[in-house]
Structure 1
Amino acid sequence: MASASKSLGNIRRSFEPWNDPAAKPLIEFDRVTKRFDGFTAVDDLSLGIYEREFFALLGPSGCGKSTLLRMLAGFEEPSEGDIRLAGQSLRGVPPYRRPLNMMFQSYALFPHMSVEKNIAFGLRQDGMARSEIDARVAEMLKLVKLEAFARRKPQQLSGGQQQRVALARSLAKRPKVLLLDEPLGALDKKLREETQFELMDLQQELGLTFVIVTHDQEEAMTMSDRIAVMRAGKLCQVATPGVIYEAPSSRYVADFVGNVSLIEGVVESASNGVVRLATPVGTIESESSAPATPGMTAAFAIRPEKMRLSRQVPGDIGVNALRGTVWDIAYLGDVTLFNVKLDGGTMVRSTVINASRIAPEQIAWDEEVWLTFPRDAGLVLVQ
């Protein structure tokens, strides 16, 4: 865990009710299991999500994240366990009676209705007075900055505008919780990035609880206060983006979230918070609180940006200095990626920031290079 003096990752805002023993989650999954014809989609899962939290369920296809969201929405019932909202069980409560709304990846807009009628649809179904509907629709149009498009049909809008209409319709009934199932998947990369920040600002402005399902690590890292990484119906780790990235609990989480190099080895020693690993590519020392003991097999995980790439032979080549050959190079504008094949055969990745427009000495393919890093650059994983 991060201490007060050493935080893991930048904090977007001071909001962490999960660290308050007196705080009670708004949403509680209590030992929830969901089976479909003998297949277990969600397996004995317990999780708490707090009021006003932007929470992400992250994992590959088939990991159970969408099933979890559908159970919360009321489209599926748990095979075992219970789901509670504000302390009240949701068992047997139909979707339309739950104080939450769901926004789908397809947006599901009515093509024959105008933007304002799409937004008003749920309010009319609830029997709200016409004057109140008009006022609420106007409020939602202003919120998503679509006042000038009120009378257009969905097919007359861009993908980003359609996404905003679907969002406005979901928010019009003022739910306690908004559920988002891969809401940005249909947008192009630049628009998706812009919309991520818009969603964050909107969530803060409205003070609602957002729960998003995504398989996009960058999306989860950008928007959420906490991330639950899932695999085969189980939770692997639940933590803030900074902790998930800088202190993954297992090889799986480290490998799934962002780029990482995993170097397998055997623990030589573990004392005073430092683990020493013997690996095929050299000796590695790491500041680590992992429960490592001599003779144990472990992996050293390090992110590409944490390693320094150089042609120069380091002064101390005994520890945390790995020699290899440049295997591949990818220029991405802001950074250059180097895949380096170490002398022991392991392939690792290093990134170099392109701080200057003109690089005086470019490292090329097949060059011999050294990768160096301090003790606190990576961590030892025993799972």
Structure 2
Amino acid sequence: MATALKSLGNIRRNFDPWNDPSAQPLIEFDHVIKTFGDFNAVDDLSLNIFTREFFTLLGPSGCGKSTLLRMLGGFEQPTSGDIRLGGKSLKGVPPYRRPLNMMFQSYALFPHMSVEKNIAFGLKQDGMARSEISDRVAEMLKLVKLTQYAKRKPQQLSGGQQQRVALARSLAKKPKVLLLDEPLGALDKKLREETQFELMDLQQELGLTFVIVTHDQEEAMTMSDRIAVMQSGKIKQVATPAIMYEAPATRYVADFIGNISILEGEVETSSGERLRLSSEGAILEVAHAPAMAPGDKAAFAVRPEKVRLSRHKPLDASVNALQGVVWDIAYLGDVTLFNVKLKSGTIVRATVINSARVAPEQIGWEEEVWLSFPADAGVILKD
């Protein structure tokens, strides 16, 4: 099973120190708890992050991800537990003594300073020599492609350019770790997508460890080596984007990452990693399933791109075939999303790729359709 999971989906780069028992983590959260009054913002959380990893903390507002980042940065202190960097505890170490830097969502640029002075500010505070500051600022401006804007004030720049100034200032002191709190939240969708790839390339070029906080699933899936999905101060799953998407560990993770349909059922038979589930008046055959006994309740989750949609009954409708009525249609350009209502009222989603500009026989609203999928299309959720 572990081998099958490891091979799921594409990987962004050949980099997986978390699978090496001899690899030492750069950052360690050791049973960290953070309370505000009687509220547990972070609840007994343990987590390892490795050198040169692009690691994302993902979750809804209030899940504890920003609190975790602020504790790593030294802006909050754990109520209990320990945070270690390079094997050394960060207890009592103030933010300015930690070999890391933080880029805030608001960018926090000084409006009265030029771009180059904003970048130089932290270096001056550290007492770096003027000639070294000049060289470092020039290096950072070139890195973020803003050399020609060095003399401008922040208000004379676009949102994307301001974001790059903030990034250059964060990188100027050459920290071991860069912390990014919703760094792309103020950008429009197109610019955000472009900047995601710029950040990935920059992280690889500099060889730094990036820890980013976001609530944007697509952003996390695009940039990360690994993602930690958080809920109510706890981590629900840590995995690569491909495994997170294709093999979610829990119902919460499955529902939080992308579109998915979840069907409730009861195990009929189980043999090795294959089982049959009775659900929605049909038999669902599932490959790579966990060990379960006949009569056990289970939930089957399947992504819409794995579901085939047709007006016609499949040749083999004895397993993994469901009939329903088209309830909603959303044309998204590259794909069309169909919400199909089964007799029970359960909605199952299916996507159809728009590979041709004109579809000769479009499926319409309230049409009766069949849904089908192979045995390895979905996963069983036990939690």
TM-score tier, shorter chain, comes to: over 0.9
Distance in 1, matches of 2:233 and 2:274, equals 34
CA contact (8 A) 2:272 2:291 kept: no
Distance in 2, matches of 1:382 and 1:292, equals 10
Distance in 2, matches of 1:283 and 1:345, equals 18
Paired amino acid for 1:220: A
The 3-state SS of whatever aligns with 2:275 is strand
Distance in 2, matches of 1:41 and 1:307, equals 38
Distance in 2, matches of 1:290 and 1:82, equals 35
| Worse-matched range after superposition: 336-345 or 161-170 | 336-345
CA contact (8 A) 2:260 2:302 kept: yes
Q: What's 1:176 paired with?
A: 176
User: Percent identity over the alignment?
Assistant: 76
Distance in 2, matches of 1:5 and 1:118, equals 46
TM-score (normalizing by structure 2): 0.99
Q: What's 2:267 paired with?
A: 267
Paired amino acid for 1:43: D
CA contact (8 A) 2:6 2:243 kept: no
1:168-207 paired onto structure 2 within 5 Å: 168-207=168-207
Q: Deviations 1:39-98 (Å, cap 9, x if unpaired)?
A: 001011100000000000001111110000000000111111000000000000000000
Displacement of 1:281: 4.2
Displacement of 1:272: 2.4
Q: What's 2:314 paired with?
A: 314
Q: What's 1:144 paired with?
A: 144
Displacement of 1:342: 1.1
The 3-state SS of whatever aligns with 1:187 is coil
Q: What's 1:328 paired with?
A: 328
Displacement of 1:294: 1.4
Displacement of 1:291: 3.3
**Structure 1 residue 224 corresponds to structure 2 residue 224:** yes
CA contact (8 A) 1:24 1:50 kept: yes
Moved over 4 A (4+): none
The 3-state SS of whatever aligns with 2:3 is coil
Distance in 1, matches of 2:239 and 2:185, equals 24
Q: What's 2:48 paired with?
A: 48
Q: For the aligned residues, what is the CA RMSD?
A: 1.0
CA contact (8 A) 1:53 1:210 kept: yes
| Worse-matched range after superposition: 271-280 or 116-125 | 271-280
**Structure 1 residue 343 corresponds to structure 2 residue 343:** yes
Q: What's 1:356 paired with?
A: 356
Distance in 2, matches of 1:113 and 1:245, equals 44
CA contact (8 A) 1:2 1:8 kept: no
Aligned length: 383
In structure 2, the CA distance between the partners of 1:5 and 1:76, relative to structure 1 (3 Å rule), is: closer
The 3-state SS of whatever aligns with 1:33 is strand
CA contact (8 A) 2:34 2:42 kept: yes
Q: What's 1:381 paired with?
A: 381
Q: Deviations 1:271-313 (Å, cap 9, x if unpaired)?
A: 1211211112421110133232211111000000000000011
The 3-state SS of whatever aligns with 1:132 is helix
TM-score (normalizing by structure 1): 0.99
Paired amino acid for 2:305: E
Q: What's 1:87 paired with?
A: 87
Displacement of 1:343: 2.1
Displacement of 1:6: 7.1
Q: What's 2:292 paired with?
A: 292
CA contact (8 A) 2:273 2:291 kept: no
CA contact (8 A) 2:236 2:253 kept: yes
